[in-house]
Structure 1
Amino acid sequence: MQELARRIRGSLLEPAPGEFARDFSRLTRIPPRAVVRPQTVEDVQETVRYAHQHGLRTVARGHGCSANGQALSEHLVLDIHGLTAFERTGELEVKVGAGFTWGDLQDRLNALGLSNIVLTDYRSHTVGGTLSVGGFGSMSLFHGGQVDQVVALDIVTGTGELVHARPEGPHARLFQYTLCGLGQTGFIAHAYLKVARNRPHALNFADSPYSTETLASITRRVLDAPQPWDHCLVLHYLAFQQNMVLLARDVEEEPAELPEGAQFLPEFYRYKNTAATGVMSQLLHGLKEAGLAKSEEDVFHLWNDYFVPSDKADAFRQIHQSLFKDPRFTMGTYGTILRARPPGSRLPLSPMSSGAEVINTFSGPYHTIPKSFLDEYRAKFDQAIDACLSLGGRVYLYGYHPKSADFYRRQFGAETFEAWRAVKAEYDPGSILGAPLF
Structure 2
Amino acid sequence: AFESARREGEAYFADAAVYIERYLEDPRHVEVQVLADAHGNVIHLGERDCTIQRRHQKLVEETPSPAVDDELRERIGAIAVDAARAVGYQSAGTVEGLLSREGEYFFLEMNTRIQVEHTVTELVTGLDLVREQVLIAAGEPLSLRQEDVRLNGHAIECRINAEDVGNSFLPAPGTITAYHEPAGPGVRIDSGVLAGSEISPLYDPMIAKLVVHGVDREHARRRMLRALDELLVEGVKTLIGFHKALLMHPCFIEGGTCHGLVESELLAARAAELENGRGELLGSDPSRGQTPGLTPAVRTVEVDGRRFEVRVLRPEPPSAELARRRRERKRGGGAGGAGKDAIVSPMQGTVLAVEVAEGDEVEAGQVVCIVEAMKMENEVHAHRAGRVTELSVAPGQPVKTGQVICIVSGD
TM-score (structure 2 length as normaliser): 0.27
TM-score (structure 1 length as normaliser): 0.26
Larger Rg: 2
- Structure with the larger helix share: 1
